């Protein structure tokens, strides 16, 4: 069994981290998946997806600020659109995460949340959630 759904995410700033954990949980529940895997994929070249601490919002803010220091907006980039830093950050963070589903639950750690990471916003974006049974 496999179920795929697409969600919309509205980002608020050039760099942003949006907690989409509840949307992913809802998609898993709607899929009827008991045990398997859930893949969350971002089909954008200037956005990413990651799992990290969600209890303290300062963690994701620290991550976004560290990425800005590592890949500053002003540099000798060649890309004509002027958003090379967003492309580089997307590559560093990655375009997908895979989460084990057991007994209809995402097997996230106590403090873990799933974050949609925007690097060229604000925009309305998409994330694709695919739930697959391993049985």
Residue 48: what pLDDT?
Answer: 98
Compute the half-sphere exposure of residue 64: CA atoms within 13 Å on the CB side of its CA.
Answer: 20
Residue 105: the pLDDT is: 97
pLDDT in tens, 100-119: 999 999 999 999 999 999 99
- 117: which strand partners? 17, 48
Dist CA 67 CA 55 (whole Å): 20
Residue 87: pLDDT over 80: yes
> Which domains, ranges and CATH numbers included, belong to the chain?
2-133 (2.60.120.460)
% of the chain surpassing 90 pLDDT: 93
CB distance 37 to 99 below 8 Å: yes
- Give the pLDDT of residue 134: 84
**Residue 1 — very low, low, confident or very high, per pLDDT cuts 50/70/90?**
confident
Q: What is the total residue count of the chain?
A: 135
Burial of 95 (0-12, 13-18, 19+ CB in 10 A): middle
Q: Let me know: does 129 contact 36? Beta carbons within 8 Å.
A: no
Query: What's the CA gap between 45 and 35, in Å, rounded?
Result: 31
Give pLDDT, residue 80.
Answer: 87
| pLDDT (tens digit per residue) in 5-46 | 999 999 999 999 999 999 999 999 999 999 999 999 999 999
Q: Does residue 135 register a pLDDT over 90?
A: no
């Amino acid at each position: 069994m496999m179920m795929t759904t697409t969600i919309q995410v509205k980002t608020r700033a050039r760099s942003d981290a949006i907690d989409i954990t509840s949307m992913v949980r809802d998609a898993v529940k709607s899929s009827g998946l008991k045990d398997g895997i859930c893949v969350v994929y971002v089909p954008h070249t200037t956005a990413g997806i990651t799992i990290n601490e969600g209890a303290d919002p300062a963690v994701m803010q620290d991550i976004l600020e560290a990425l800005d220091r590592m890949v500053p907006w002003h540099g000798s980039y060649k890309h004509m659109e002027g958003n090379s830093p967003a492309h580089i950050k997307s590559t560093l963070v990655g375009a997908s995460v895979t989460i084990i589903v057991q007994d209809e639950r995402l097997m996230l750690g106590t403090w873990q949340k799933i974050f949609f990471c925007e690097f060229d916003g604000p925009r309305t974006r998409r994330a694709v959630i695919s739930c697959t049974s391993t049985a």
